[in-house]
Amino acid sequence: MDIRNIKNILVKEIKLAKSWLIFVPAGVLLFNFYIYLKFKDIPSMSRNAPMLLVSGIVILPLLIIAFIRGILILKSERDNRTIEYLKALPVNGFEIATAKSLMIGIESFAYAATYFITFRTMITLAQTTYTVRLTLWLFVLIWLVLTLTATFSLLLQAVGMSVRRFGRLIAAVLFLILSQAGLKIAGWLDPVLREFPHITLYVVYGAGTQAKGPMTLGTLILLAIYIVINVSLTGYLVENKMEV
């Protein structure tokens, strides 16, 4: 693969994705602070309620956005009739897939930062302390999960664009199969993953401590492997199967 080709495509993608990089994180932040302000005075909410709120209300929209972005970043090439031009350039499918996946990684980084900022602020407002370990590993975990979600949808979109008939149906069926397969493989590898160094996420509530985890370094490595597989398969489809 030629690094210069990847760089050129990536620069183009960054220019096209400016609105996503700015307005999506800003919108998510505003929405979640609104949710917090609306419910913070409810008597039934305990001190850990802000963390529970941010865990569910922030991550779900970000996962949905990441999935949609993975689809649109490739679909837009066909909609704008630029896929023919892109494939006519002296670049191969793996370079195209790598550049678009790097763009996905950059966007996922911004979304993970949004999650982290909201998470940290909510815990601060709840007068809850937490360790530095939680900060680092939570950020990395969310970043990898969002990137995996987006590269997975990118792969499904490549499948849909590579099959002349019933492409969307095949992609939907493949989504169910691969999702279950990924979970099964993770279950089978669980004994191996447990041999990796453990990362225990701690959250301290006043005088008490609650451990969130433990998670292993192997979990992060497995997520990274899944991402590489998604990108590789997408590159193969763009190079050999995708119709223009």
Whether residue 13 is predicted with pLDDT greater than 70 in this model: the reply is yes
What integer pLDDT is reported at residue 105 of this predicted model? 92
Structure tokens at 98: 């790598």
Closest residue by Cα to residue 157 from 72, 244, 96: 72
Write out pLDDT tens, residues 72-131: 888 887 777 766 666 666 778 788 889 899 999 999 999 888 888 777 777 666 655 555
Contacts of residue 190, defined as CB under 8 A and 6 or more positions apart, other chains included, come to none
Contacts of residue 223, defined as CB under 8 A and 6 or more positions apart, other chains included, come to 141, 144, 145, 148
Using the 8-state DSSP alphabet, how is residue 12 labeled? H
Q: What pTM, to 2 d.p., does this model score?
A: 0.81
The alpha helices in the chain, defined as continuous H runs, are: 3-16, 18-39, 49-79, 83-88, 93-125, 132-162, 167-188, 190-193, 217-240
Mean pLDDT of the chain, nearest integer? 76
CA 151, CA 226: separation in Å to the nearest integer?
9
